[in-house]
Amino acid sequence: MLELTRITAGYDPRDPVVRDASLTIAPGESVGLLGPSGCGKSTLAKVAALLHRPDAGTVVLDGRPVRGWRHGAPRAQRTAVGVVFQQPRLSADPRLSLRELIAQPLRATGRRAEVTDRVAELAPAVGLTAELLNRRPHEVSDGQLQRACLARALVLRPRWLICDEMTAMLDASTTAALVAVVEAYRRESGAGLLAVGHDRVLLERWCDRTVGWQGISGRVATQESMSPTG
Ligand SMILES: Nc1ncnc2c1ncn2[C@@H]1O[C@H](COP(=O)(O)OP(=O)(O)OP(=O)(O)O)[C@@H](O)[C@H]1O
């Protein structure tokens, strides 16, 4: 299970953007997190991805409480969670080819020996040709770069996957293709998924269940507490 309990998080402890929110995802389950822009979905997604330390509350991953946070959780637990963000250009190192980008987590965890095989498996699965793999981010489209970012998120075979507005910048056919890749991975691996967005139709079609911001907040969220604080 990926269990977030009574999470308070944000960027200023005196004025958190997520207050007292709880959310549990079972292995193999897909959960859509819906909410208006600025309500704190991405912040909660970063906590679920073990990239952002909550100010209060607990995160339990596969039965083990996450401890020893710095900005994020310790690497041993973090690598169990793959994450894809909305804007691939912000999360992709512009100096790397798409091949290197996909392989990055394997290199970072000392698993270089697996690079050739994993890239050869994942590139066709996400729809990237050998020629595209040699290009750098500024030489490909947003959709092609997002395909590489999805492959990078899957390269360590995570047990949990967080897709934060993964398809927000993409056209309908690329959206369908990437959702199909995630679903194939989920079926094959039994991974749990948190898909964040504001496209209710997409998330309701994609996920086993969807939760709105009010559904995950420990207190009954008021419109004020859902709004951007700035
Ligand atoms: N790194 C940051 N530093 C300071 N404030 C931030 C940071 N990231 C987000 N915020 C603020 O936190 C609030 C919630 O942002 P967040 O991105 O979590 O919302 P969201 O629901 O995912 O929005 P969207 O749907 O527009 O992506 C906003 O007021 C935003 O300005």
Q: How many angstroms is it from 200 CA to the middle of ligand 1?
A: 19
Q: How many angstroms is it from 199 CA to the middle of ligand 1?
A: 17
Identify whether the C-beta of residue 135 lies closer than 8 Å to the C-beta of residue 101.
no
pLDDT of the residue at 70: 87
Name the residue among 156, 181, 153, 160 with its Cα closest to residue 83.
Answer: 153
- Give just the sign of the alpha carbon dihedral 213, 214, 217, 221: positive
Q: How many angstroms is it from 229 CA to the middle of ligand 1?
A: 9
- Establish whether residue 17 lines the binding site of ligand 1, counting it when its CB lies within 6 angstroms of any ligand atom: yes
Tokens coding 32: 């859509």
- The pTM assigned to this predicted structure is 0.89
Q: What are the two backbone dihedrals, phi and then psi, of residue 63, each rounded to the nearest 5 degrees?
A: 85, -5
pLDDT of the residue at 84: 96
Question: What digits encode the pLDDT tens for the residues 25-46?
Answer: 999 999 999 988 888 899 999 9
pLDDT of the residue at 223: 33
Tell me the best of 12, 34, 41 to mutate to test the pocket of ligand 1, counting ligand atoms within 8 Å of each CB and taking the most: 41
Among protein residues, the one whose CA lies closest to atom 10 of ligand 1? 11
pLDDT of the residue at 214: 56
- Establish whether residue 13 lines the binding site of ligand 1, counting it when its CB lies within 6 angstroms of any ligand atom: no
pLDDT of the residue at 88: 86
Q: What are the two backbone dihedrals, phi and then psi, of residue 61, each rounded to the nearest 5 degrees?
A: -115, 120
pLDDT of the residue at 227: 32
pLDDT of the residue at 95: 94
Atom index in ligand 1 nearest the CA of residue 198 equals 25
Q: How many angstroms is it from 103 CA to the middle of ligand 1?
A: 29
Tell me the best of 19, 34, 42 to mutate to test the pocket of ligand 1, counting ligand atoms within 8 Å of each CB and taking the most: 42
Please give the full DSSP string across 135-152, using - where no structure is assigned.
S-GGGS-HHHHHHHHHHH
Q: What is the DSSP letter of 39?
A: S
Tokens coding 62: 């596969």
Residue 10 C-alpha from the chain's centroid: 17
Name the residue among 93, 102, 168, 155 with its Cα closest to residue 132.
Answer: 102
Q: How many angstroms is it from 42 CA to the middle of ligand 1?
A: 7
- Taking the C-alpha atoms of 213, 148, 91 and 43 in order, what is their torsion angle to the nearest 10 degrees? 10
**ipTM of model:** 0.94
List of residues 6+ apart from 113 with CB closer than 8 A: none
Identify whether the C-beta of residue 17 lies closer than 8 Å to the C-beta of residue 10.
yes
Among protein residues, the one whose CA lies closest to atom 7 of ligand 1? 11
- Establish whether residue 15 lines the binding site of ligand 1, counting it when its CB lies within 6 angstroms of any ligand atom: no
The segments of the chain whose pLDDT lies below 70 read: 213-230
pLDDT of the residue at 142: 93
What H or E segment, with its residue span, contains residue 4?
strand 2-9
